[in-house]
Structure 1
């Protein structure tokens, strides 16, 4: 059996997944070919080249029609001999329509979509595009859903449940887990001392891109409110972006705010380790795995714009979800900080979730779905 997976880009965190998936499928007699292109000019994340005989890089062509960006991926020759072709279901991917037409005419291969379910950040003006995507999605033979949240959306659109594989999207957390285990009390004490934080003062952390969609201003306001009840509270902000100056200005005015700047890979673990919670009111995605692996429960809000991985977060089990107002968010933080049993229980459940949502689990689910789809 020959399988081709077409990816618009290949970010660094996907390389361990595809490498492991290739070896897992090879052991089951399945030949995997990965076809990937590059990002649009100025876009992130960026493609990282993969030097492997089963991976081929192509040159994407990007262009605009009105306000929409479209992309053409020249991969038809590479997919021609495949028994199963797996693509994303983005409307802007023009090659999908050609592949769909080819499948409808010849029926010589099966088609699968690897899907979020819908665009969780879509606006009112995107409704027509999302409606078209729903119709297009039903044309496939199989579906690989990022998470159960994605699968639920697909089922609501009429996709048969027995043709959906929930892959539990993840990345390789081994380095993060090893760094977490290696921390000792002296390093945590040193980190607090560097920041000028007393040993008994509670700390919360924001870690991510300081972009408008993450709304760091929301976090700053919520912490100001929470400090009326927990006056020794400190906020550590790890990351950079367009709203970095907002954080730096707040840190100048308030010594309890610590603007760390960008910190990469396992180096950020020590800031999680001194913290009681991760604050991420908007845009929860794979960052939830950082929370699980470091056993630092994540506090977010109940909004639709989160990524599909927000499905992993269970309120009062392995994280916290408040109403989407600054006041409600601050109150939930105060409740959590004042309840030692809740903190202990959530940390334990974070550890359980970290054992479930792993790269190995994702690889096995994806590989099993590929094999099952051919039956």
Structure 2
């Protein structure tokens, strides 16, 4: 049986349905899949989204900082040395990715991830290494079309690129949204003492990448104006404390980590989603719930922002607290006066699994 190994830094909870589906799809092809991951970092653990699974081979994570550069020195090559193919993160700072792509060996190598530099400025050393990885891997798995275009622009033939169309499983959220009633929303409001007026939602980790400080500063601006904008926040993270002053003033309701039913109630009851920092897979939730995302013109959004349409499902004021506050206020005030949006269907997990499976078959048969 052909053995394929996928390596990633850690296993987030949202990846479980993807890997479950991929295991089943490849089993039907006579391919044995193994998944190896490190441990969640402190910041990732604080978000509460790390997971374990019976099929996961977890290894201790080793990291080392050199100035502003964080090196992932986790070494798993002894676990996939005899495999037919390995797919490693496309990261210049990853020892595993470097070991997989150097030297001569019969093993097929794939790289997967953003591919283009979406979420942070690229260190010149990492950039050079990542372009080298693209040239020396036998297949590239790009999350979204922008990453695939970047790979083509750096000389990777189209037949060696799979556009994954990265997503999360929307089945449970769609079902929860469908069964959520106005009475459920009213009961949730009463339980959490949410004002009986339009509100905005925030769903996700409360860390630096989400620019929680901008949300907190915007709420300060709105408080100084006497605005009645209210935000219901579902999530945990290291910057949760920044929102506590607004919560004490009654501008914010903090509900902590939300299960799918709670998330459905929050999203369905909200006028829009406030997310000043990195827009990533929240874009899929937005399409599923048919709620626009209000973010900022920050240059480091994740690839999944490509699912959204500017000035329809995506509102992007300038990256400062005053303009973000204006956008939040406008969203509340225009709740009943917005033009109807033609919402595209959210990307399906089944399609992502099929795309990745096709890429793996291309990798091992090319």
Q: Do residues 372 (structure 1) and 359 (structure 2) align?
A: no
Distance 1:65 1:340, change over 3 A: closer
Measured in 2, the distance between the counterparts of 1:294 and 1:18 equals 24
Check the 8 A contact 1:60/1:71 in 2, yes or no.
no
Which has the higher mean CA deviation after the structures are superposed, 66-75 or 172-181? 66-75
Query: Match for 1:174 among 171, 176, 198?
Result: 171
Check the 8 A contact 2:206/2:240 in 1, yes or no.
yes
Measured in 2, the distance between the counterparts of 1:169 and 1:70 equals 23
User: Which structure would you say has the larger RCO, counting Cα contacts within 8 Å and 6 or more residues apart?
Assistant: 2
Distance 1:221 1:325, change over 3 A: same
Check the 8 A contact 1:60/1:74 in 2, yes or no.
no
Q: CA deviation at 1:213?
A: 3.1
Measured in 2, the distance between the counterparts of 1:203 and 1:264 equals 20
Query: What does 1:344-355 correspond to in 2, within 5 Å?
Result: 345-346=340-341, 348-349=342-343, 352-354=344-346
Measured in 2, the distance between the counterparts of 1:166 and 1:316 equals 26
Q: Do residues 251 (structure 1) and 247 (structure 2) align?
A: yes
Check the 8 A contact 2:92/2:125 in 1, yes or no.
no
1:100 aligned residue: 101
Distance 1:278 1:50, change over 3 A: same
Measured in 2, the distance between the counterparts of 1:7 and 1:26 equals 21
Measured in 2, the distance between the counterparts of 1:42 and 1:112 equals 28
Q: Do residues 135 (structure 1) and 132 (structure 2) align?
A: yes
Check the 8 A contact 2:229/2:329 in 1, yes or no.
no
Measured in 2, the distance between the counterparts of 1:220 and 1:61 equals 33
Distance 1:163 1:177, change over 3 A: same
Measured in 2, the distance between the counterparts of 1:65 and 1:234 equals 40
Could you tell me which runs of 5 or more consecutive residues in structure 2 were left unpaired when the two chains were aligned: none
Could you tell me which runs of 5 or more consecutive residues in structure 1 were left unpaired when the two chains were aligned: none
Check the 8 A contact 1:58/1:73 in 2, yes or no.
no
Check the 8 A contact 1:3/1:30 in 2, yes or no.
no
SS of aligned partner of 2:258: coil
1:306 aligned residue: 301
Q: CA deviation at 1:278?
A: 0.5
Distance 1:139 1:343, change over 3 A: farther
1:189 aligned residue: 186
Check the 8 A contact 1:40/1:62 in 2, yes or no.
no
Distance 1:58 1:79, change over 3 A: farther
Measured in 1, the distance between the counterparts of 2:64 and 2:330 equals 49
Check the 8 A contact 2:71/2:94 in 1, yes or no.
no
Instruction: Kindly report the root-mean-square deviation, in angstroms, between the aligned alpha carbons of the 2 structures.
Output: 2.9
Check the 8 A contact 1:58/1:75 in 2, yes or no.
no
1:285 aligned residue: 280
Measured in 1, the distance between the counterparts of 2:19 and 2:41 equals 24
How many residues align structurally? 359
TM-score by length of 2: 0.86
1:51 aligned residue: 54
Q: CA deviation at 1:338?
A: 4.6
Query: What does 1:1-375 correspond to in 2, within 5 Å?
Result: 1-27=2-28, 29-39=29-39, 42=42, 44-45=44-45, 48-52=51-55, 57-60=57-60, 62-64=62-64, 66-67=66-67, 68-76=70-78, 78-82=80-84, 84-102=85-103, 105-106=104-105, 108-123=106-121, 126-197=123-194, 199=196, 201-223=197-219, 231-252=227-248, 254-339=249-334, 343=338, 345-346=340-341, 348-349=342-343, 352-354=344-346, 357-373=347-363, 374-375=365-366
